[in-house]
Structure 1
Amino acid sequence: MAKPDLIIFDCDGVLVDSEVLSCRCLTEVLAVHGVELGLDQALDLFLGRSTAAVFQHCETLGRPLPQQFAAELKASVRAAFSSALAPIAGVGAVLEGLLIPHCVASSSDLDRVSFSLALTGLAAHFGERLYTSQLVRRGKPAPDLFLYAADRMQADPRRTLVIEDSVSGVQAAKAAGMTAWGFVGGSHYLSRDGKALLREAGADRVFERMAEFWRDPERPHGRG
């Protein structure tokens, strides 16, 4: 697409390298409640999804989680992030030079998104332009959150670009009528074929380094 009128960034796995950390916390807290789930399974099932999806999944397994699970998971994630969370390499430079209106739309809750961005020095790039699944009835892969964000930013969905790292996020962007770029530079894709997953989900482009944000490494570079 030509330069968009709005760019929506997912947070986890796009702005901050958090997916492995948070999914590891998820498996550990689930184990406390008798639900065994490996890290790869957690990534496959819940990458880009909200905590509500975890509750729903366990309910279908016949292992409903107690309400305190959400608070326990939040505490575990916050501790892990405090000691090890880092921004995605190169994302600060992209945001520094970004003149197009931009915001965040994340399946995580507002407290976690705000904490993550503050911890990694990225908060100033977004201010209060943070939208989360708490604000809509249906989370990703439904289009509700992206449509809500575009509406708040007064942008046409057809002129909106979404940067996502998850299948559910790409599906949500496409369902909203937006252009979706898949990003596979997070550590959770070191041993998984993220490019194939996101292309199959409908991504219009997939890239793996923020240095490639405005150019396509698959396009030959030469005269003409």
Structure 2
Amino acid sequence: MKHIIFDCDGVLIDTEIVAAEVTVAWLNSEKVNISVEEFILQHTGKTYSNIINGLKAEGFLKASLKTDTIVHLLDDKVKARVRPILGVSDLLNSISVSKSVVSNSATSYVAQALNKIEAAHHFENRIFSAEMVAHAKPSPLVYELAVSTIGIPKEEIIVVEDSQTGVQAALAAGLKVLGFLGGSHIQPGHGEKLKQLGVFDVASSHEELAKKLALLANN
């Protein structure tokens, strides 16, 4: 292993639960009947634009709503509550190989989040966002962009993802994926779902993840 690609939300920063709470509160205000648990199961890993446009297409949201305006509103609320997942600083400090971030979130959001948790220097501006490609995860395009830019063979790269959407994207790009279960949004049985998709292993905390990545780096 010579390079690690991390997803951002739910792997480095503990925002998936925050994003679910914020978005569900807004959806409920728009008369969409959905719980935080249902949102996590149905939409974790998707972009706000895809969620909102999908609900418009299905008739749950008014077609007249401006998606971009809503996305900015939700983004701002989530940014204000960004926090690192426990142990992320020790994890990143323990890894000697180069690292990058691949996310469905906007580049500016990821950059701000990494700065807020004092982790930006670990990635040396290697941030790849779905806004850089035609389609977000589960499309493999953003992972393919990252691999071509990094210039390291796929066989020497490990991806760390928490969502089914992200795992599907990375696997479709031909990458090896380790599932992360340490975010506060993770539901019972999620690890088995990721294994069924094709992750080669899972880690329940950053401490466990650090040990497994260390073993991979030394083999």
Normalised by the size of structure 2, how large is the TM-score?
0.88
Contact 1:58 1:65 in 2 (8 A): no
| Aligned counterparts of 1:204 and 1:58: Cα–Cα separation in 2 | 33
Residues 159-214 of structure 1 deviation map (CA, whole Å, 9 limit, x = unaligned):
2210000011111111111110000000001x432211211221111111111124
Residue 73 of structure 1, CA deviation: 4.0
**Shift in alpha-carbon separation, 1:104–1:66, aligned structure 2, 3 A:** farther
What amino acid is the match of 1:203?
Answer: V
Report what 1:85 is aligned to.
82
The alignment status of 1:213 with 2:214, answered yes or no, reads no
| SS across alignment from 1:87 | coil
| Aligned counterparts of 1:17 and 1:75: Cα–Cα separation in 2 | 19
Report what 1:196 is aligned to.
192
Report what 2:131 is aligned to.
134
Residue 118 of structure 1, CA deviation: 1.6
Contact 1:110 1:130 in 2 (8 A): yes
The alignment status of 1:40 with 2:47, answered yes or no, reads no
Unaligned runs of 5+ in 1: 217-224
| SS across alignment from 1:215 | helix
1:147-166 matched pairs, under 5 angstroms: 147-166=144-163
Contact 2:94 2:210 in 1 (8 A): no
The alignment status of 1:186 with 2:179, answered yes or no, reads no
Report what 2:215 is aligned to.
none
Residues 143-164 of structure 1 deviation map (CA, whole Å, 9 limit, x = unaligned):
1111111111112223221000
The sequence identity of aligned pairs, in percent, is 27
The alignment status of 1:52 with 2:49, answered yes or no, reads yes
**Shift in alpha-carbon separation, 1:207–1:75, aligned structure 2, 3 A:** same
**Shift in alpha-carbon separation, 1:90–1:167, aligned structure 2, 3 A:** same
Q: Cα RMSD (Å) of the superposition?
A: 1.9
**Shift in alpha-carbon separation, 1:145–1:64, aligned structure 2, 3 A:** farther
Contact 1:30 1:36 in 2 (8 A): yes
Contact 1:90 1:211 in 2 (8 A): yes
Report what 2:166 is aligned to.
169
Report what 2:105 is aligned to.
108
| Equivalent residues, number | 211
